[in-house]
Amino acid sequence: MTFSVRCVHRLGFGLLLTISLLCLLFPRMDGDAAVYALLAKHMVLHGDAFNLVFQGKDWLDKPHFPFWMMAISFQLFGINEYAYQVPGLLFFAMGAWFTRQLALFFDDEATASLTTLIYLSLFGLLLAVHDQKAEVYLLALMTAASYAWLRYDQQTSLKYGLLGSVGTAAAVMTKGVFVLGFLGVGLVAMLVYLRAWSRLFHWKWLLAMMGTLLFTLPELLALYLQFDAQPEKLVFGQTHVSGLKFFLWDSQFGRFLNTGPIQNDKGSPFFFLHNLVWTFFPTLLVLVAALWADAYSGFAWGQGGGAGPQATRLAPVAAPVFLWSTFLLALAVFSATKYQMDYYLVIVFPYAAIACGHWLSKVDWAVLSPSWLLRLHLGYVTVMLALSTLCALLYFWHAGNPWVLLALLPLLALVLVWEMLTPPGRVLAWSVSAVVMLFAFTVTFHRDLYVKFNAGHVVARYLNTQVRQPVFVYNMIFNTFDFFSQSPSLPVRSADELIKASAPCCGMGAQGRGFYVVARTSEAPDLIRNLAKQIGAWPGAEAGSRLQVRTLQQFDEIELPKQFVWQLLKDDTTLPRQSLSVLQVAIRP
């Protein structure tokens, strides 16, 4: 199919800029994002890059690398939700660059340009970027390492050996040792396919493994110092927990086999297949066509496929083997496990994007234009575009939020340039416009809900305007509040725990210093009664002291599971909600 390479470059650059602006203008700090941000915030505030601490307790789950990147961003730009977005966007751009380099290694400029555009427009990947998932870091590091190892296989170079070792080590320090399988399978499969035994069993791969181990030492050292060197620490409800064992086994194979401390009894072998309908939007049908075409050709592009200046004589022949073995292994492994998240598979999207880019650049438009495949693709894209338009207009009508109308701008831009585009260009622009509209609506819609209904964000904004006093969160998980609060905050689960926790910072005396308590409105009366009963046990309490409690403000929080989204678009007054109270507590003589 004939495309203007320059036009595709401009479209890709504009898309990267648009996505970055949407992520920076409409961030959302909840769920995992709030947890990760709190871990990085602790690193910055305490000058501690080795210990992962969450709400005052040792945290053992993800490796350190993403948190190091976030902490660096907080150091440079301050501790805020915008600085939190920066490293993820940089790694997203880095992934685009190395995906392009991989495509150039195997094929020509046309394939590389289309591959980059596909990468930048995959909806599931864009959502992972907005949510700052660790997978965004991982896919950039994996593509960098894959490119480096391919070049290292081609020529024994210190530059590519270092790049491969650093990229692989950083990938391991992002998600764990399982990524070694995904990084190695493509290269091994390609060399076996080519029967290049001398390249496969070359001594230089021992140097590569040693280099990777060397650059992984910071993670191993951090885990040893925090956990293995201090076996008395209580983790997962028990002592003598090895951080090294968790990193090397439990967090990886323990989840796969569902035998580790973090388990999930759900999961379906078809989960990722049906998730591809929206995560690989708008290129799903191209993915299917590319896989079919490569399988039909025996997974060989032929000598003519590798026209790129960096291509070797044999590598282009086996390019599909490298790409599809990586993608299909990840699909099979993630489908087999019970612990499944929709964003897990995005780490291998770049490899599938290259195969799609190759197919698009080589397919004959005269053959494709009258085919059912193109019609089905246009129908698939048009339905999603129409849904985005309808939802944006409906939410604007209901909520009066003008920002959601940003979702309509790509459609307006498409109308203005439609006559200047060739038929293939129109298909490409139509597809890109649809995904930008869908992403723009998603981020503006969720940002509006987040600002209005996320109690942690709302309560933090309110208390940041009040007199600074310690804050205690009663019987709730309030991660978003903990990140935004400018005052120190601690979780407590009972009146007795509140008294003990507040004693060091709010001792008795003539001043009677107070503190804030955030609690569910329904639980606040019981908390106050229990406090009144136990106030005499306060360390240093004087005779005649009494408890003073004042309700400063109440806020509504709405839980927003997916089944309520359509109802919210029409009317949010009947949605289930809970009321939170902000109390000011003081002990007066």
Give 79's contacts (C-beta < 8 A, 6+ positions apart). Answer: 41, 44, 45
Q: Residue 309's pLDDT is what?
A: 45
pLDDT > 70? residue 258? no
- Cα 126 from Cα 16, distance rounded (Å): 10
Query: pTM for this one?
Result: 0.91
Give 21's contacts (C-beta < 8 A, 6+ positions apart). Answer: none
Q: What is the mean pLDDT of the chain?
A: 86
Q: Residue 489's pLDDT is what?
A: 87
Query: pLDDT digits over 165-181, tens only?
Result: 999 999 999 999 999 99
The residue type found at 109 is E
Query: pLDDT digits over 3-19, tens only?
Result: 677 778 888 888 899 99
Question: How much is the average pLDDT of 152-168?
Answer: 95
Alpha helix segments (H runs only) across 176-234: 179-194, 197-200, 204-223
Q: With H, G, I as helix, E, B as strand and everything else as coil, classify residue 520.
A: strand
Question: How much is the average pLDDT of 128-151?
Answer: 96
Confidence of residue 565 (pLDDT cuts 50, 70, 90): low
pLDDT > 80? residue 159? yes
pLDDT above 70 covers a percentage of the chain that reads 86
Span of 199-208, 381-390, 405-414, 550-559 with lowest mean pLDDT: 405-414
Q: Residue 462's pLDDT is what?
A: 93
pLDDT > 50? residue 58? yes
Per DSSP, what are the bridge partners of residue 554? 581
Span of 369-378, 382-391, 537-546 with lowest mean pLDDT: 537-546
Q: How many Cα neighbours within 13 Å face the side chain of 79?
A: 18
Confidence of residue 509 (pLDDT cuts 50, 70, 90): very low
Query: How far lies 24's CA from each of 19, 29, 82, 87, in Å?
Result: 9, 12, 6, 11
pLDDT > 90? residue 460? yes
- Cα 279 from Cα 341, distance rounded (Å): 12
Query: How far lies 484's CA from each of 71, 97, 289, in Å?
Result: 15, 34, 47
Alpha helix segments (H runs only) across 107-157: 109-120, 123-130, 134-154
- Asked if 321 contacts 193 with a C-beta cutoff of 8 angstroms, the reply is yes
pLDDT > 60? residue 512? no
- 47: tokens are 């000058």
pLDDT > 60? residue 507? no
Question: How much is the average pLDDT of 120-141?
Answer: 96
Q: Residue 567's pLDDT is what?
A: 53
Place of tokens 């320059």: 6
Q: Residue 312's pLDDT is what?
A: 45
Per DSSP, what are the bridge partners of residue 551? 583
pLDDT > 80? residue 537? no
- 282 prior amide bond cis, ω within 30: yes
Question: How much is the average pLDDT of 417-429?
Answer: 75
- 477: tokens are 């998980």
Tell which residue, 409, 405, 465, has the closest CA to residue 433. Answer: 409
Q: Residue 208's pLDDT is what?
A: 97
Q: How many residues does the chain have?
A: 589
The residue type found at 569 is L
Query: pLDDT digits over 210-220, tens only?
Result: 999 999 999 99
Question: How much is the average pLDDT of 132-161?
Answer: 95
Q: Is 312 exposed, middle or buried (0-12, 13-18, 19+ CB in 10 A)?
A: middle
- 344: tokens are 């897990």
- 321: tokens are 């083997």
- Cα 413 from Cα 433, distance rounded (Å): 9
- Cα 155 from Cα 199, distance rounded (Å): 10
pLDDT > 60? residue 225? yes
Per DSSP, what are the bridge partners of residue 238? 235
DSSP string, 250-297: IIIIIHHHT-SSS--S---TTHHHHHHHHHTTTSHHHHHHHHHHHHHT
Q: Residue 513's pLDDT is what?
A: 64
Query: pLDDT digits over 329-353, tens only?
Result: 999 999 988 888 889 999 999 999 9
Beta strands in 324-419 (DSSP E): none
- 363: tokens are 């397919």
> Of 444 and 169, which is predicted with more confidence?
169
H/E run at residue 558: strand 546-558
DSSP code of 235?
B
Question: How much is the average pLDDT of 248-272?
Answer: 76
Q: Residue 420's pLDDT is what?
A: 66
Span of 129-133, 286-290, 486-490 with lowest mean pLDDT: 486-490
| CA 526, 557, 486, 85 torsion-angle sign | positive
Q: Residue 532's pLDDT is what?
A: 82
Q: Is 72 exposed, middle or buried (0-12, 13-18, 19+ CB in 10 A)?
A: middle
The phi and psi torsions of 242 (rounded to 5 degrees) equal: -90, 120
- Cα 359 from Cα 343, distance rounded (Å): 25
